[in-house]
Amino acid sequence: MQRRAVWLQAISVAQCEAIDFSSAMAQIALITGITGQDGSYLAEFLLAKGYQVHGVVRRSSTMNRGRIDHLQHANPSHPETSKFVLHYGDMTDSGGLNRLVKTVRPDEIYNLAAQSHVQISFDQPEYTGDADGLGTTRLLEAIRTMGLPTRFYQASTSEMFGLTPPPQSESTPFHPRSPYAVAKLYAHWMTVNYREAHHLFACSGILFNHESPRRGENFVTRKVTRGIAQILAGKLDKLRMGNLDPKRDWGHARDYVEAMWMMLQQDEPDDYVIATGVTRSVKDFVDTAFGLVGLDPAKYVVSDPAYMRPAEVHELRGDPSKAQRELGWKAETSFDTLVREMLENDMKLEGVDPTHHLIGAAKS
């Protein structure tokens, strides 16, 4: 039997109910947060494996699909050939999520949608809890009440560990230090509860910091690489930063989405820490990035109290040994390669030729 495919533009849940997705031979994946960094890399990964990918996007007066535009262009909108489908939805709308899960009947759900900025969560704690915490429960409940054999992936975060000393593993106690981390911890334990109480195939990936050129511009790593590109372009004199002392375990998002998929291919569901096992400070990231273009960060970086967190997480360093042992997963991209890739992308976006500034870049 062949599944009837759908047009590429986003459609409402009501429109979706008229479409039959139940007879496909290909695996069907539903990704919330598909327009984000992780969602776009995961969509690419799954499409390459032959999946039919459905993504949930929020209705907005402005388009925010720059990370997935290439996927829409690469997957024709002809109703017989489309493998990439977008649907309007919101993590705060249980009725819409229920209808979407019921209609698409996915083999796998990857719940990546979240208000994921730690600093913003202090300003919007209630919304963060609703979208990140209760939103996960709404999806889990949709799977349970419909009796679907859907496999569920929950995007947990290393921020849940908070003050707990490193290295942090699957058995390390949690001590969240932000509304974002608290909301994610609720979602994490709900995922465990639905697995144990209702026997859902539900996994949590406790991902440590993972970056890429697709990282949001208000995240610290992207702020650094974009700031350097703007300095080189003559658009910025100083880069204002918060605390440079916190240490993080940084990897590449492209590597980490493969681990998400691996978790849902196992015989039994479980939770896994995904990390490099190496920690570096924010200052290390700054120094590495500036060093790659031959600039002295002391001349450009200034401390700004406005970017200090009310409660800081001092050090996160994951122990990925379980994922290495049971999934066969290991981070492939080096720290220097990650920083270089982000710098090169931001230079191009700012109209700066990387070959003229990036140390070691091939001359054009």
Strand partners, 206: 156, 273
Q: Which residues carry out catalysis?
A: 157, 159, 180
Which of left, alpha, beta for 280 (phi over 0: left; psi -120 to 50: alpha)? beta
Strand partners, 273: 206
- In this structure, which amino acid lies at residue 76? P
- In this structure, which amino acid lies at residue 103? T
Q: How far is CA 318 from CA 72, 118, 146, 334, in A?
A: 35, 19, 36, 16
Judge contact between 223 and 217, C-beta under 8 A.
yes
Gap between the Cα atoms of 54 and 87, Å rounded: 7
- In this structure, which amino acid lies at residue 313? V
Gap between the Cα atoms of 111 and 306, Å rounded: 31
